[in-house]
Amino acid sequence: MAFDPSPPASIQNLLHRACHTWGLSRLDAELLLAMALGKPRSWLYAWPEHIPGPAIQETFIQLTQQRAAGKPLAYLTGHKEFYGLDLQLSPDALIPRPDTETLVDTAIEIIDRHKARRILDLGTGSGAIALAIKSQCPACDVWASDVSSQALGVARNNAKRLGLSVHFCQGCWFDAIPMNCGPFDLIVSNPPYIAPDDGHLEALSHEPRHALVAHNHGLADLFEIIDQTPKYLADGGFVWLEHGHTQGAAVRERFHERGYQAIESRHDLAGLERITGARLYP
Ligand code: GLN
């Protein structure tokens, strides 16, 4: 469908077209237009009759088309808010989900209640979990790993911009962790947990597949972390993992088989079983 570029459209006409011709939500259209203009969203309400110049019209049209084709807003704006932090994003890292804030809530609760100090976030992606923990609990020594050097670049950049000090290391799960930096009091992770044949992957095609998909019905990485964690956890230490809402029983069972105690699952904001944790005693 051709997007008629002439006559140049006003702010209100551009928004109208983005919503009615291209099917964007009003919020997405406003955020993209504000970005193309380099202004805050409120500016659009102050100047609805303003006619942006041709370069801005063109930029907005391109952003609108990409959004209409399914590219997530966070990848178009390059930003996503997570736990009150403004994170920069690129398609190298998974977009942080509100569900994952449940994992951060739980981590902070454990840090406060049990004086956990050495914390590890495995598969940190944009750095969301590690940075949220460090921002809330500055006394903690936070480590974060990822297999992707591009994702780690995004995470390091976020840490720098936010002035948060996290130790980043590259590698697959615990391969990233030098032996001398453990043991950890708390290990958290939001690993890939979607089964390769899950229909809901189609809607996530813009995000890195290796950050979403795991073999064995989506359980392979969860199980690997559960199996490897004992080598890196302090006595009585905690591990909490995010998982799919139907995977709680399988994750609890694996923790049980590997000798963990105090195994417990919690629900996310949508009321779905989303995270499971356990402790390990010698
Ligand atoms: N929660 C994400 C989703 O289902 C998946 C994240 C993940 O695999 N860790 O969209």
- Which CATH number is 106's domain given? 3.40.50.150
Query: Do residues 35 and 143 both lie within one domain?
Result: no
Q: pLDDT grade, residue 61 (50/70/90)? A: very high
- CA of 11 from ligand 1 middle (Å) equals 36
95 and 33 share a domain?
no
User: Does 108 share its domain with 199?
Assistant: yes
Question: Which residues does a 6 A CB cutoff place in the pocket of ligand 1?
Answer: 97, 99, 190-194, 204, 212
User: Which amino acid belongs to residue 5?
Assistant: P
pLDDT digit string, tens, across residues 96-114: 999 999 999 999 999 999 9
Under the banding of pLDDT at 50, 70 and 90, the label for residue 16 is very high
Shared domain for 36 and 166, answered yes or no, is: no
* pLDDT for res 6: 57
Q: What is the DSSP code (8-state) at residue 9? A: P
- Could you tell me if residue 154 is inside a domain? yes
Asked if pLDDT for residue 230 goes beyond 90, the answer is yes
Give the ligand 1 atom nearest the CA of 97: 1
Could you tell me the distance, in angstroms and rounded to a whole number, from the CA of residue 127 to the centre of ligand 1? Answer: 15
Between the CA of 247 and the centroid of ligand 1 the distance, in Å, is 12
pLDDT of residue 7: 66
96: nearest Cα among 128, 122, 71: 128
Residue 5 lies in a domain: no
Residue 30 reports pLDDT greater than 60: yes
Residue 132 has pLDDT above 80, yes or no: yes
44 with 116, same domain: the answer is no
Is there a domain that residue 6 lies in?
A: no
Whether residues 270 and 135 share a domain: the answer is yes
Q: Quick one: pLDDT at residue 2? A: 52
Query: 3-class DSSP state for residue 237?
Result: strand
Rounded average pLDDT over 258-263: 98
Give a yes or no: residue 202 inside a domain: yes
Determine the structural domain holding residue 131 and report its residue range.
Answer: 90-280
> How confident is the model at residue 3, as a pLDDT?
53
Residues 137 and 216 grouped into a single domain: yes
Residue 4 domain flag: no
Contacts of 265 (CB under 8 A, 6+ apart): 248, 251, 252, 273, 275, 276, 277
Let me know whether 16 and 135 are in one domain: no
How many structural domains are present in the chain?
2
Same domain, 269 and 193: yes
Nearest-atom index, ligand 1, CA of 214 = 8
**Do 166 and 54 share a domain, yes or no?**
no
- Judge whether 42 lies within some domain: yes
Are residues 94 and 62 part of one domain? no
Q: Please check the confidence at residue 5 and state whether its pLDDT lies above 60.
A: no
In a domain, 205, yes or no: yes
**Rounded to an integer, what distance in angstroms lies between the CA atom of residue 71 and that of residue 94?**
13
Does 116 fall in a domain?
yes
Task: Give the per-residue SS3 of 22-83.
Answer: CCCCHHHHHHHHHHHHCCCCHHHHHCCCCCCCHHHHHHHHHHHHHHHCCCCHHHHHCEEEEC
